[in-house]
Structure 1
Amino acid sequence: MAPSSPTKLPSNPLNHLRPVDDEDFVEIYDDSYSSDDEDNRRSKERRIREKAPKSEHEILDLEKKPRLPSSIEIYNRIKWDCTDVDIDEFSIIYEDRILGLVEVIFSKYEIGTIPLHRVKTFKYQNNIIWDRKTRFIAFPEL
């Protein structure tokens, strides 16, 4: 099959358009529209704009929470900054797909095998020092 020749475009592609006169427009009147519909629309807009003031509890929830260090930051802090204490006093609770929550001693945790995004809690001497769910951090100054 031979390639088709390209279609020649007009020099001014807008030549087919013509100016529009007012008589070309037809005004459509919808008799189902009434002032009641407009009043309902306005009252709905007013209700949306005039919401009740928020309670103290809601305002506190909207305030920005302080940044929670990530699990990799806590892991590295324990690994590199806590050289004066026994590393085995730290434990990690992570979520296993099959077993659920599993607690392991820090030195037994395999960072390559178990991803850090599954870590839920870090403990030191059976005291929680970091918890993802409650956004709790109380890292001891060692």
Structure 2
Amino acid sequence: MWEKREEEWEREKVARDRLMNEVLAGRQRQIQEKMELNRRAQEESIKYREQLIKELEEAKELTRQEKEQEEELKAQVQHLTACCLQEREEQQCQREEEEEERSAQQRCEELVRQEAKRMAEQGYCSRVGSSTKGKPVHMGRCF
């Protein structure tokens, strides 16, 4: 009787051990699968992070280029504005010089007219020899 009981206990022990090994093996597979999933998730996370870093660097570079272009454009606008202002000033100076020249010419012509009038009123005789082949020509009241 004890031998049967011991054989039964032995069979139960073997069955328990086999069941325990199956449970442990199943659990080990689950752990391995979970670890593999975690590893893949980490790889994806690293790839995603690297992609984000790359996109951020590209965005920074694009922003830097845009800022550089903006600065260049700003400098060109300032240069053109300065050139336009200088050209306007030069044109204004030229107009003022031309106006002064016209005004001086008009004053000179007016002075010549006034002097001619005064001389005519005082009886001044002008001699012009070229038109009469050397003979004096009298103008005004001179005889």
TM above 0.5, one fold? no
Higher RCO, 1 vs 2 (CA within 8 Å, ≥6 residues apart): 1
TM bucket by the smaller chain?
under 0.3
TM-score in terms of structure 2 length: 0.19
Could you say which structure has the larger radius of gyration?
Answer: 2
Identify the structure with the greater helix proportion: 2
TM-score in terms of structure 1 length: 0.19
